[in-house]
Structure 1
Amino acid sequence: MEKKICTISITTNWLDDKYTFYEDDTIKRAYDNSNSASEVTEWLEPKQISKQNKDKLIKSCPEEFKERIMLILDYP
């Protein structure tokens, strides 16, 4: 497993939605489908993430990682 850069949460209400970024430019998303469902994990390509979620991720990103995360997400 590659080294983790950071994890960014864009959780809304009670449903978890976390993205973990790795140094090999991979992205892991862990989220809840519903209040009663357990966490689902998937590996994503930047093009699979909506512009709205990319905006939220960049807004919530710690400043020291922002430039690197923007490169990984091909943002804007």
Structure 2
Amino acid sequence: DWAVAQQTLELADATSPLGQAQAAALKASKEGPADGSAFRAVEAAKAHSGVTLNMTYEAGLQALDPRNFSGPMW
């Protein structure tokens, strides 16, 4: 559906600075130290696995939020 398509993650080229930063952030969220904020956030989010969140976007810049502030789906 449209909502699932909005959550697809498109990473930049791995050789670009942005691609390297994205890869580092993804690695930190999965393999980071247990006292790191990214790792703790992922672990806390796992408690809500299977929960569906519905969001409504207004017009203008807010409508771009799914594209500009999206991340991986767990």
> TM-score, structure 1 length as denominator?
0.24
> Which has a greater percent of helix?
2
The structure that has the greater radius of gyration is 2
Structure with the bigger percentage of strand: 1
